[in-house]
Amino acid sequence: MTTRRALLTGTALLVGGSAAGAVGYRLWRDREPDGPPSTDGAGRLVWRNWSGIQSSYPQSRAAPANEDELASLLKTAQGPIRPVGAGHSFQPLVPTSGTLLTLDRMSGVLDHDPEALTAQVRAGTRLGELGPALAKIGQEMRNLPDINKQSIGGALGTGTHGTGLGFKAIHGEVQSFRIATLGGDILDCSADHHPEIYHAARVNLGAFGVITEVTLRNSPLTTVQKRVELRDLGDVCDDWPALKKKHRNVEFYAIPFTGKAAVITVDETYRPVKPRGADEDSSTLMTLKTLRDVFGYAPDVRRFVARKLMDTLPAEDMVDEGWKLLSNERPVRFNEMEFHLPVDAQIPALKEVVATIEANRPDVFFPIEVRHIEADDAWLSPFYQRTSGSVAVHAYYKDEYQFLFTLIEPIFRRHGGRPHWGKLNSLTAADFRALYPRFDDAMAVRAALDPGGKFLNPYLKTALIGG
């Protein structure tokens, strides 16, 4: 991609003459963060999440191959029983001293209805595997998140979403699901069968039982054009309402200390395929990191250099089936906080976040992601009865991230935001009760399914019950 290569080449030339004497360049930033021992005193192996900040030493690990094995296991497994997918949650949803449960052996498309455009999918299926599997039957998910490494069960459990006017989060397209309970029962849940469980557990945090299968409402397989264009951030903020109406899917990344934003649009097309090629996002991120390292001590210089590099870069276009373009590779690890805000509060909150970072945190170089998600009726959905605009702030995994709690979270909360369940936040049950009109109803369903709290680790007790 000429855009990325030009950015990398230009940065190398500009930085080459500045790096030797750059006061702000600190090698200690690149040290690998300390991690927990690989085993504890009892010889139990460590589990860590993707970014490395959550860990535990489960007493046992289980990987049932089918519902019968799972149902039998749940009757006797040591608690807390915590399901795990790809470990992409930054909150401590998974850590357990009891049983760590994976559904990796329960994956794949079981059946589909070509007329209704639905597919029955096992909950352990990774989103990256589901794309080509659905394509073979002429279907595609109606929307996809930025990363496709999650299992479908994990994505539903945390309210994972994509972006676009008229598009709901993944759980909003669930027609029905099957859930394994502690008593060994497998319940079929929909708006007509066990409706209270259907509404309460579509976003479930793995705290109600273990979802084994879901029936997804899909769309016909389509070819789309994805376009990435750098624009002035102020103009993008002004144009955001029009951009949402104009494009099928749209999001943008505000790039701190540059005054720029990367606008990403996706629209259906009949143009011939033009593959995306090798993913260069990680190289672009490391270029932004280099600008931070070399010019971080002088924000005005950093902004000047960045704009010099970005102002003449052309847009990038690619054309392919939607499942190949909507999600991205993210090999560069990070920690993340994302809140979902009332639509009218999204841009004001974003501007406050950018200003706060630029005034206080010159170490931040990750772009800030901005998306749109439609309302749905799942009781624990961050989008329950509210169409929302999300803002996600990232910190490089080697960098300090506590500023997300001290500087960024207060902005989101002041603007009425609800946090992504899988991303960093400090809210407790009292906070969630105030944000979710059906929170107590959902907790009553949860308590009926798991009266002893066998699915609850310490964090979930704080988030769902309080103390």
Domains of the chain (ranges, CATH numbers) = 109-221 (3.30.465.10), 223-378+390-419 (3.40.462.10)
pLDDT for the residue 281: 82
DSSP 32: P
Residue 88 half-sphere exposure, CB side, CA atoms within 13 Å? 24
Answer yes or no: is pLDDT of 125 > 70.
yes
- C-beta atoms surrounding 410 within 10 Å: 12
pLDDT for the residue 30: 80
Tens-digit pLDDT profile for residues 328-364: 888 999 999 999 999 999 999 999 999 999 999 999 9
- Supply angle C-alpha 133, 384, 158, rounded to 5: 45
What angle do helix axes 281-295 and 299-310 make, rounded to 10 degrees? 150
pLDDT for the residue 14: 52
Q: How far is residue 398's CA from residue 390's CA, in Å, rounded to a whole number?
A: 25
pLDDT for the residue 155: 96
Q: How far is residue 325's CA from residue 33's CA, in Å, rounded to a whole number?
A: 32
- The arithmetic mean of pLDDT across residues 437-458, rounded, is 98
Q: How far is residue 335's CA from residue 146's CA, in Å, rounded to a whole number?
A: 15
Tens-digit pLDDT profile for residues 388-429: 999 999 999 999 999 999 999 999 999 999 999 999 999 999
DSSP 166: T
- The arithmetic mean of pLDDT across residues 363-384, rounded, is 98
pLDDT for the residue 13: 44
End-to-end distance of the chain based on CA atoms, in angstroms? Answer: 53
Tell me which residue of 39, 79, 82 sits closest to 57, measured CA to CA: 39
Tell me the three state secondary structure of residue 445: helix
pLDDT band at 443 (very low <50, low <70, confident <90, very high): very high
Tens-digit pLDDT profile for residues 263-289: 999 999 999 999 998 877 888 899 999
β-bridge mates for residue 211, sequence order: 179
pLDDT for the residue 27: 61
pLDDT for the residue 151: 96
Task: Identify whether the C-beta of residue 415 lies closer than 8 Å to the C-beta of residue 349.
Answer: yes
pLDDT for the residue 101: 98
pLDDT band at 118 (very low <50, low <70, confident <90, very high): very high
Helices then strands, counting H and E runs in the chain, come out as 15, 19
* CA 268 to mean position of chain CA atoms: 24
pLDDT for the residue 7: 54
Tens-digit pLDDT profile for residues 184-230: 999 999 999 999 999 999 999 999 999 999 999 999 999 999 999 99
Locus of tokens 């903020």: 237
- The arithmetic mean of pLDDT across residues 95-104, rounded, is 98
- The arithmetic mean of pLDDT across residues 314-319, rounded, is 95
Task: Identify whether the C-beta of residue 394 lies closer than 8 Å to the C-beta of residue 366.
Answer: yes
Tell me the three state secondary structure of residue 427: coil
Answer yes or no: is pLDDT of 16 > 60.
no
pLDDT for the residue 28: 61
pLDDT for the residue 2: 42
Tell me which residue of 144, 390, 399 sits closest to 253, measured CA to CA: 390
Tell me which residue of 205, 212, 250, 220 sits closest to 65, measured CA to CA: 212
Task: Identify whether the C-beta of residue 85 lies closer than 8 Å to the C-beta of residue 123.
Answer: no
Mean pLDDT (the chain) is 93
pLDDT for the residue 68: 97
